[in-house]
Amino acid sequence: MMKLAKPSTILFSAAVLLVLPCLASAYPLGTVEIVNTGNAASEAVTIWGGGQEGLDVYAGVYTFKKTAGTGEGKLWDNGTISGFCTELNETVPQITSKYTVMALEDGPVPTSFLGGPMGEAKADYVRELWGRFYDPSWAADGQFTWYQNSQASAFAAAIWEIVYENLPASPSKWDVKVDGSWGSLGFRSEWVDATTANNWLHALDGTGPKADLRIFSFDGSQDYIAEVPEPATIVLLGFGGALSLLRRKRKVA
């Protein structure tokens, strides 16, 4: 996440996913070599969460230049890619770094602050949030309207609400303006379009489309959520279907 210094110097603050070999759940799926190139649609907000208290940050889309990849990292073409941060306490990398590609539910890592990765339930909420409401125009080239900036920052706040709050009894209990968790957990924000963020969160009932998402993780620098490009998703689904068909044929035989 991008931290705002006052009055004008921009500092960076966000999060890290540290891949620990002893954690079988945080299984690496590949790597991507990326460097931060700035922000697309985004705006300044103030947040409380992840150990931060009243921190001024840029919330919205982050852009990166990708130069190499292995495994699932090859699903993204070299060039410009985009994503959203998931943690609030590490810096944006200023040099090209090799990130580990991980399943969404396995992040964020390290788990010391949250007490564990987000898990499948929260990951499904993020997938549905993305599938229902993410707008690719937020990551397009060129200038952005105030509306696009406002929408992208609300989307970022909704992600942080899911990651940092305890799971509520109902999505209607989420509120990006109110810390709803006891102790160090929880999240709230100011100067964000809370009405839009909350409406999106309250709509998450498990019936919406779910995006195919991964986390990019690097020890000591901010971690990001990125969507697998659609053609690659179709290929992966086709491969899964072929495996299922092969299993059925084996059972018949």
Domain total in the chain: 1
pLDDT tens sequence across 194-207: 999 999 999 999 99
DSSP state of 16: -
Element (H, E) at 248: helix 230-252
Low-confidence ranges of the chain (pLDDT < 70): 1-26, 232-253
Q: Which domain holds residue 133?
A: 2-252
Q: How far apart are CA 178 and CA 181, in angstroms?
A: 9
Of 138, 130, 136, 133, the residue nearest 40 (C-alpha): 138
Rg (CA), the chain: 18
- CA distance to 132, 178, 220, 240, per residue, from 157 (Å): 16, 12, 22, 33
pLDDT at residue 75 in the model: 97
Encoded tokens for 82: 């985009």
* CB distance 58 to 2 below 8 Å: yes
pLDDT tens sequence across 139-183: 998 899 999 999 999 999 999 999 999 999 999 999 999 999 988
Reported in sequence order, the residue ranges of 118-247 that DSSP labels E, i.e. its strands, are 187-190, 213-218, 221-227
Encoded tokens for 180: 């709803």
Q: How far apart are CA 34 and CA 19, in angstroms?
A: 17
Q: How far apart are CA 17 and CA 248, in angstroms?
A: 38
